[in-house]
């Protein structure tokens, strides 16, 4: 594909459909097969995806890997029912066969109506580039080797470095019975580095990484070395860490990636499917106070170049900036087409799927809290005794009970308004609908994460972004072995 | 090779083997000194019924081939879901091109030829289920109904699903190894919501087996889902304290699962494990014995050979608490100066020996402590073994369940938790790759209010 050409729809049609000999009348026939009986809406999702990764260990690039996946997912929706089938052959017979299978969810009957396609211009949040060739293969190898050399030189205690570069070029086309005909070319690159440090018989791991929707040219040597320095810094901090305390206490969350708290505690519970089914702890609470008035939280798929951003969602709806909580009041849910239709609202452009082989669901894009009035130093200084959590591993939520958990990978005690000793591997648990009511200070230092988020839901993974300013929460349960002295 | 890939399970094994052989031959023609290829094909469907109505019907059909080539000791890998000749050729060429950029790594290459499986035992992994979506919908409906009817506090549902899949796996390499086999998986799952005092809780139950004949009734799965969910209502947050913790069998699986990562070749070589140099040392309490049984008939993780074609065989992994083996493929075995253990791709059915009576006996033995219902989060540091996870469950005093517990963390260190195993129940759960009864651990920090 020509990376600079202007019209993604024309390009994608050529790239995906023409290659399989699929013409407009085949699409109409497939949708016609789906639009029978009580079917409200049907769609076809074509995807051609290429990925590569380069992994360095022991100072050498041990392996380059490349994969190609392509296929078409076919869906028919009738009321709350969904019929779905897919094929990894983008060919006319496979398309029609999948359409028959998916359409079988409803009784056969009258032919439904397929609306004329109305190609719609989406955002241009990233260039439709294929990121794989944006750096020569031998330069990728050389770049990883340089990072390895320089990171090892940072500190003699660095004993192992594992680093990887990865890129994906995802080309999608959606056509639906409601007239949607839209395409997107989605580049995504990522760099990861993990280090092991050793000091006597103590060993610790540090990790950093980042990326976004652009070519490798945005991940230059200096950026990668910054990630390397960050990984080493975290590992060295943890060498001196003492057991985390346990019990309920004041917790200050650092800016950026700790926004995964919002993603877990708030975001998932506001996805339209759970609220339509009445299984979310936030069900029926629009207009209610769910956070202190310092808190405004949005899901914004329109940030240029971000890992969680999309020109359009996987149903062809342009993404938006959706306000979830405004000054503490719950404002809205995240919707895909099906849940929006059943709840009588508009799609918010959050219908996402892992691939053509998966069905769309309401999913987050970039979820973050807006900045507040407090200087981060002022927030730390206000805490007599507590925990400062600066970085996190993963998190998880139980949508129905609202309970969430996440694990700090870098945290410190706060004593008399000052950051004290590092603590190891603390887990924080809390309750989504009440935790933000306990936010008493919000920093003026909003930061988004570096581009590492992967969100899992019902077995499907999609790239996301998170962010927040420094937050003070008066009362979260911290789980360590260090006791509550 | 045919131009169109209209594979079926019944006739596909030969076709997939031809494609693997063709890819290996082409790799050799392109100058590869060694090559290996995996191919797979799978098909199936699942239905989900929610609030007594069909919600989804999903048909699944997957295929793929992945090839690895070596130019000397330089390695490249490529995979494709398109099995037509042109796409396969492009993948082989791509793998060869990538290998040129790889670094010379003397440990890299195929498994040694003398370790490859010479016989492919029939492990009873393939039992197709003659079921159509209409019948599956009936079963799922019955399953969910049993959950909704199990307790009046069960008021809502995530649904019940019935799923069936069949697949083919083929592996070949340039030592001349070429083998494959069919397998199947069938399952019921059911997840419902219970309401009480303005709070909601959810839980689930499931069943999975190679053969549908081995599945329990869908009604029993649903009823258990309903019972479990209702029992979670009314949880309170206890005071922070140190106490014994009982991991019921389905949760205990994960506790033993952390061992697998810790004794795998990559973690050992990188020393990114809390079990560095643990071979021959007491890692568990003396009462703990664990076998690996790759040839367990109908086992969910059974396999006649590993991902490199190396023959799998039964062995004792932990003997009276002492670690007797690692989980190694050829690459890290060479790096560590050891031999492959037939674990490229992971462990094959770990069976933990029971030391005690049933679940109720363990509850009595615990006396006062926490029964875990569910664990959340990934708070495990593989390097240090520090363990801290979110939990819900039931508080036990004097051998009797007092009340549900919610929003706590349990914390400890895996080294101490493994040494602190007091008993393994006879209530064995066979629904996963680790087959174990419930496990009682002597002490952990339970953080609440």
The string of pLDDT tens digits covering residues A138-182 is 999 999 999 999 999 999 999 999 999 999 999 999 999 999 999
Q: Which of B56, B200, B390 sits opposite A84 (nearest CB)?
A: B56
**Is B86 near chain A, with CB under 8 Å?**
no
Residue contact A479–B379, C-beta within 8 A: yes
Long-range contacts (CB closer than 8 Å, 24 or more residues apart) made by B201-205: B201/A400, B201/A401, B201/B229, B201/B232, B201/B233, B201/B235, B202/A279, B202/A398, B202/A399, B202/A400, B202/A401, B202/B158, B202/B229, B202/B232, B203/B228, B203/B229, B203/B232, B203/B373, B203/B374, B204/B158, B204/B228, B204/B229, B205/B147
Residue contact A357–B62, C-beta within 8 A: yes
Would you state the structure tokens that stand for residue A383, as one six-digit string? Answer: 């805490």
Residue contact A62–B378, C-beta within 8 A: no
In order, the DSSP letters of A193-249 are: EEEEEEETTEEEEEEEEEEESS-GGGS-HHHHHHHHHHHHHHHHHHHT-EEPP-EEE
Whether A390 shows a pLDDT value over 80: the answer reads: yes
Predicted local confidence at residue B379, as pLDDT: 85
Q: Which of B66, B271, B411 sits opposite A196 (nearest CB)?
A: B271
The nearest CA of chain B is from the CA of A83 a distance in Å of 5
Q: What are the chain A neighbours of B87 within 8 Å (beta carbons)? A: 68
3-state secondary structure of B128: coil
Identify the closest residue of chain A to B57 by CA–CA distance.
Answer: A83
**pTM of this prediction?**
0.92
Identify the closest residue of chain B to A407 by CA–CA distance.
Answer: B379
Please report the residues numbered 152 through 171 in chain B whose beta carbons come closer than 8 angstroms to any beta carbon of chain A. Answer: 156, 158
Q: What's the whole-number mean pLDDT along residues A311-325?
A: 97
Q: What's the whole-number mean pLDDT along residues B268-284?
A: 95
Predicted local confidence at residue A115, as pLDDT: 77
Interface test with B, best of A58, A85, A398 (most B CBs within 10 A): A398
Sign of the four-CA dihedral A344, A345, A351, A356: positive
Residue contact B103–A61, C-beta within 8 A: yes
Please report the residues numbered 417 through 436 in chain B whose beta carbons come closer than 8 angstroms to any beta carbon of chain A. Answer: none
Q: Give the position of tokens 């759960």.
A: B429
Predicted local confidence at residue A6, as pLDDT: 57
pLDDT tens for B219-236 read 999 999 999 999 999 999
Whether B197 shows a pLDDT value over 60: the answer reads: yes
Question: CA B424: distance to chain centroid?
Answer: 20
Over pLDDT 90: what percentage of chain B? 92
Q: What are the chain A neighbours of B90 within 8 Å (beta carbons)? A: 68
- The three state secondary structure string of B280-336 is CCECCCCCCCEEECCCCCCCCCCCCECCCCEECCCEEEEECCEECCCECCHHHHHHC
Listed range (A3-12, A119-128, B66-75) with the worst mean pLDDT:
A3-12
Predicted local confidence at residue A441, as pLDDT: 98
pLDDT band at B448 (very low <50, low <70, confident <90, very high): confident
Q: What's the whole-number mean pLDDT along residues A213-242?
A: 95
**Is B8 near chain A, with CB under 8 Å?**
no
Interface test with B, best of A249, A393, A481, A482 (most B CBs within 10 A): A481
Q: What are the chain A neighbours of B383 within 8 Å (beta carbons)? A: 196, 203-205
Contact indicator for B391, B404 with CB cutoff of 8 Å: no
Please report the residues numbered 193 through 252 in chain B whose beta carbons come closer than 8 angstroms to any beta carbon of chain A. Answer: 193, 199-202, 232, 237, 240
Residue contact A430–B407, C-beta within 8 A: yes
Listed range (A395-404, B225-234, B399-408) with the worst mean pLDDT:
A395-404
Higher pLDDT, B280 or A119: B280
Listed range (A68-77, A93-102, A340-349, A405-414) with the worst mean pLDDT:
A93-102
Q: What's the whole-number mean pLDDT along residues B351-364?
A: 97
Predicted local confidence at residue A1, as pLDDT: 38
Segment (H or E) for A51? strand A41-57
Predicted local confidence at residue B61, as pLDDT: 87
Listed range (A235-239, A368-372, B10-14, B182-186) with the worst mean pLDDT:
B10-14
pLDDT band at A10 (very low <50, low <70, confident <90, very high): confident
pLDDT tens for B156-178 read 999 999 999 999 999 999 999 99
Q: Give the position of tokens 């080797």.
A: A145
In order, the DSSP letters of A450-473 are: -S-EEEEETTEEEEEEEEE--EEE
In order, the DSSP letters of B376-427 are: ES--B-TTT-EEEEEEEEEEEETTEEEEEEEEEEEEEEHHHHHHTEEEE-S-
Q: What's the whole-number mean pLDDT along residues A194-201?
A: 94
CA B432, CA A439: separation in Å to the nearest integer? 42
The interaxial angle of helices A24-34 and A92-103, nearest 10 deg, is 20
Predicted local confidence at residue B222, as pLDDT: 98
The nearest CA of chain A is from the CA of B148 a distance in Å of 14
pLDDT band at A3 (very low <50, low <70, confident <90, very high): very low
Q: What is the mean pLDDT of chain B?
A: 95
Predicted local confidence at residue B4, as pLDDT: 44
Whether A348 shows a pLDDT value over 70: the answer reads: yes
Residue contact B386–A277, C-beta within 8 A: no
3-state secondary structure of A106: coil
Listed range (A115-129, A226-240, A446-460, B32-46) with the worst mean pLDDT:
A115-129
Residue contact B447–A478, C-beta within 8 A: yes
Interface test with A, best of B61, B163, B228 (most A CBs within 10 A): B61
Whether B3 shows a pLDDT value over 80: the answer reads: no
Higher pLDDT, A36 or A312: A312
A218 sits in the region (left: phi over 0; alpha: psi -120 to 50; else beta) called alpha
- How far CA A358 is from CA of A289, B60, B62, B184, B339, in Å, comes to 35, 9, 12, 21, 40
**Helix, strand, coil % over all residues of chain B, rounded to 5:** 25, 40, 35
Predicted local confidence at residue B278, as pLDDT: 96
Residue contact A244–B388, C-beta within 8 A: yes
């Amino acid at each position: 594909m020509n990376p600079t050409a202007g019209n993604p729809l024309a390009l994608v049609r050529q790239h995906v459909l023409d290659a399989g000999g699929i013409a407009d009348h085949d699409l109409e026939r497939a949708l016609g097969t789906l639009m029978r009986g009580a079917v409200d809406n049907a769609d076809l999702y074509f995807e051609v995806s290429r990925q590569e990764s380069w992994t360095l260990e022991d100072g050498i690039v041990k392996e380059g890997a490349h994969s190609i996946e392509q296929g078409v997912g076919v869906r028919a929706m009738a009321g709350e029912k969904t019929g779905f089938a897919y094929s990894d052959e983008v060919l006319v017979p496979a398309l029609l066969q999948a359409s028959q299978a998916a359409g079988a969810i409803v009784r056969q009957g009258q032919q439904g109506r397929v609306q004329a396609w109305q190609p719609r211009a989406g955002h241009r949040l990233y260039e439709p580039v294929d990121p794989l060739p944006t750096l020569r293969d031998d330069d990728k190898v050389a770049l990883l080797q340089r990072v390895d050399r320089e990171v090892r030189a940072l500190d003699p205690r660095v004993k192992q470095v594992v680093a990887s570069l990865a890129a994906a070029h995802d080309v999608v086309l959606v056509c639906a019975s409601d007239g949607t005909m839209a395409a997107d070319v989605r580049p995504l690159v990522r760099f990861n580095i993990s280090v092991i440090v050793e000091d006597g018989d103590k060993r610790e791991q540090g990790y950093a990484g980042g990326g976004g929707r652009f070519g490798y040219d945005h991940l230059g040597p200096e950026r990668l070395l910054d990630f390397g320095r960050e990984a080493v810094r975290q590992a060295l901090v943890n060498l001196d860490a003492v057991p985390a305390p346990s019990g309920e206490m004041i917790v200050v969350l650092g800016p950026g990636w700790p926004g995964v708290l919002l993603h877990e505690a708030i975001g998932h519970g506001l996805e339209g499917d759970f609220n339509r089914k009445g299984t979310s702890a936030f069900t029926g609470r629009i207009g209610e106070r769910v956070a202190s008035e310092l808190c405004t939280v949005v899901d914004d798929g329109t940030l240029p170049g971000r890992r969680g951003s999309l020109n359009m969602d996987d149903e062809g709806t342009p993404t938006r900036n959706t306000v979830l909580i405004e000054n503490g009041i719950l404002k809205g849910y995240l919707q895909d087409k099906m849940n929006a239709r059943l709840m009588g609202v508009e799609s918010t452009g959050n219908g996402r799927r892992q691939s053509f082989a998966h069905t769309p669901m309401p999913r987050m894009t970039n979820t973050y809290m807006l900045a507040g009035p407090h200087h981060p130093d002022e927030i730390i200084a206000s805490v007599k005794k507590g925990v400062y959590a600066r970085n996190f591993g993963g998190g998880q939520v139980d949508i129905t009970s609202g309970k969430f958990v996440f694990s700090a990978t870098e945290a410190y005690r706060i004593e008399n308004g000052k950051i004290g000793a590092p603590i190891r591997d603390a887990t924080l648990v809390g309750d989504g609908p009440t935790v933000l009511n306990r936010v008493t200070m919000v920093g003026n230092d909003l930061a988004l994460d570096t581009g590492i988020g992967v969100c899992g839901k019902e077995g499907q993974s999609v790239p996301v972004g998170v962010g927040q300013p420094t937050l003070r929460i008066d009362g979260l349960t911290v789980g360590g072995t260090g006791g509550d002295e | 090779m045919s131009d169109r890939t209209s594979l079926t399970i019944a006739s596909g094994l030969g076709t997939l083997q031809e494609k693997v052989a063709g890819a290996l031959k082409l790799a050799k023609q392109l100058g590869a000194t060694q090559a290996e290829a995996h191919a797979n094909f799978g098909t199936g469907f699942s239905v989900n019924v929610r609030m007594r109505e069909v919600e989804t019907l999903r048909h699944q059909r997957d295929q793929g081939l992945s090839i690895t080539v070596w130019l000397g000791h330089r390695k490249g890998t490529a995979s494709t879901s398109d099995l037509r000749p042109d796409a396969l050729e492009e993948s082989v060429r791509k793998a060869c091109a990538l290998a040129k950029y790889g670094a010379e790594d003397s440990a890299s290459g195929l498994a040694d030829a003398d370790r490859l499986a010479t016989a492919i035992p029939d492990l009873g992994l393939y039992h197709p289920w003659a079921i159509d979506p209409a019948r599956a919908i009936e079963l799922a409906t019955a399953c969910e109904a049993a959950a909704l009817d199990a307790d009046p506090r069960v008021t809502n549902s995530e649904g019940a699903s019935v799923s069936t899949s069949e697949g083919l796996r083929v592996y070949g390499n340039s030592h001349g190894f070429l083998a494959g086999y069919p397998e199947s998986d069938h399952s019921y799952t059911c997840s419902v919501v219970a309401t009480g005092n303005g709070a909601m809780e959810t839980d689930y139950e499931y069943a999975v087996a190679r053969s549908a004949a081995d599945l329990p009734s869908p009604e029993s799965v649903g009823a258990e889902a309903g019972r479990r969910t209702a029992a979670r209502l009314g949880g309170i947050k206890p005071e922070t304290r140190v106490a014994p913790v009982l991991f019921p069998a389905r949760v205990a699986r994960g506790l033993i699962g952390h061992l697998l990562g810790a004794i795998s070749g990559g973690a050992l070589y990188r020393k990114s494990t809390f079990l560095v140099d643990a071979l021959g040392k007491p890692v568990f309490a003396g009462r703990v014995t664990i076998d690996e049984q790759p040839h367990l008939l109908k086992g969910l993780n059974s396999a006649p050979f590993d991902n490199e074609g190396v023959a799998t065989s039964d062995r004792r992994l932990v003997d009276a608490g002492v670690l007797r083996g690692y989980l190694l493929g050829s690459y890290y075995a060479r790096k560590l100066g050891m031999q492959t253990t037939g674990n490229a791709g992971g462990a094959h059915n770990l069976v933990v020996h029971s030391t005690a009576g049933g679940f109720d006996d363990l509850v009595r033995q615990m006396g006062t402590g926490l029964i875990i219902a569910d664990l959340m989060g990934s708070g495990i540091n593989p390097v240090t073994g520090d363990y801290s996870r979110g939990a819900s469950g039931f508080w036990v005093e004097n051998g009797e369940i007092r009340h549900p517990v919610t929003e706590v963390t349990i914390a400890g260190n895996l080294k101490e938790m493994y040494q602190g195993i007091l008993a393994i129940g006879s209530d064995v759960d066979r629904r996963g790759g680790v087959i174990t009864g419930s496990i009682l651990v002597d002490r952990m920090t339970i953080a609440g209010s």
